[in-house]
Amino acid sequence: MEMTYLEAIRQGIREEMTRDSGVFLLGEDIGVYGGAFKITSGLLQEFGEKRVIDTPISESAIVGAAIGASLMGLRPVAEMQFADFITCGYDQIVNFAAKCRYRWGAAVPMVIRAPSGGGIHGGPFHSQNPEAWFVHTPGLKVVAPATAPDAKGLIKSAIRDNDPVLFFEHKALYRRIKEDVPDGDFTVPIGKAAVVRQGRDLSIITYGAMVHVARESAETLEKEGISVEIVDLRTLAPLDEDTVLASVRKTSKVLLLHEDVLTGGIGGELAGRIAEKAFHDLDAPIVRVAAPDTPVPYSPPLEEAFLPNAAKVTERARWLARY
């Protein structure tokens, strides 16, 4: 069935709520209003106010309640209205939820949905990509789907997982893409990347909205005789290192692409692993394309200049191909 990225997430949540009575939702305006982006629209009427809970505007309270509920055997799905505000619950996520299994073997089967990313002219407090903050924290799983099928399959896997999962869903993709999503119950495994385009000359390793940027660039480059392979990480923690290294060894040239700012981003970790484990397979320096180290601008022209796009990727990929 063809559906948007947004509809795919909603369908995955609905199926898991139907399958497991322990799954419930909590967050700001997710009930009567249906969520800021309408992800949860209709779920209050379908499942009732005990399983779709409107909360106060307090991310700390939302995260704390979700952790407590998960420790009692429920499977909460907590929404941060914007991923940026996850900072208000940061301590509880990284210093409690992430460490429960290590400290005393306790499962914390909770999901935190985090609408992230720019391209919507939301300014510096509603447009960030904070995934790297959490990839650095052992005990957390971090996923970032790029397509509607993966959005549905990964939200279902995240809900079923017994560890805390941060689910980064890119706001600019909600209604922008519409794709065929398989009918019936299916999941996408956490920790497994996908080669979404085969190529021979260079590899682009990316995730989230940047997968679509990479595809646009690859189509341009193909007309110039440059064959690009694209690896969609899908999961950032744990990283599918094997798929990444296999692609690098195949093409011998790699471009690392993410929307997050350059310094401290996922690209640096990937570059380190590739340099350590596939250095002798490389025929060129590792290239990174990311946002500059500034807050996300509010002004549309400045935001356009800030965000990675196909033109920027294509320019760097041409250089890499010539090297």
Q: Which residues are catalytic?
A: 126
Residue given tokens 């250095």 in the structure block:
279
Task: Give yes or no for a contact between 185 and 15, defined as CB atoms under 8 angstroms apart.
Answer: yes
Question: Quick check: helix, strand or coil at residue 98?
Answer: helix
Task: Give yes or no for a contact between 179 and 149, defined as CB atoms under 8 angstroms apart.
Answer: yes
Q: Which of the 8 DSSP states describes residue 114?
A: E
Residue given tokens 């499942």 in the structure block:
47
Q: Which of the 8 DSSP states describes residue 296?
A: P
CA angle 134, 140, 142 (to 5 degrees): 65
| Residues whose CB falls within 8 Å of the CB of residue 208, separated by 6 or more in sequence, listed in order | 116, 117, 129, 144, 145, 146, 168, 170, 173, 258, 259
Question: How does strand 23-27 pair with strand 202-206?
Answer: unpaired
CA distance 260 to 268: 11
Q: What are the backbone angles phi and psi of residue 141, rounded to the nearest 5°?
A: -110, 140
CA distance 251 to 30: 45
Instruction: For residue 16, give both structure tokens.
Output: 């898991």
Instruction: For residue 292, give both structure tokens.
Output: 């500059």
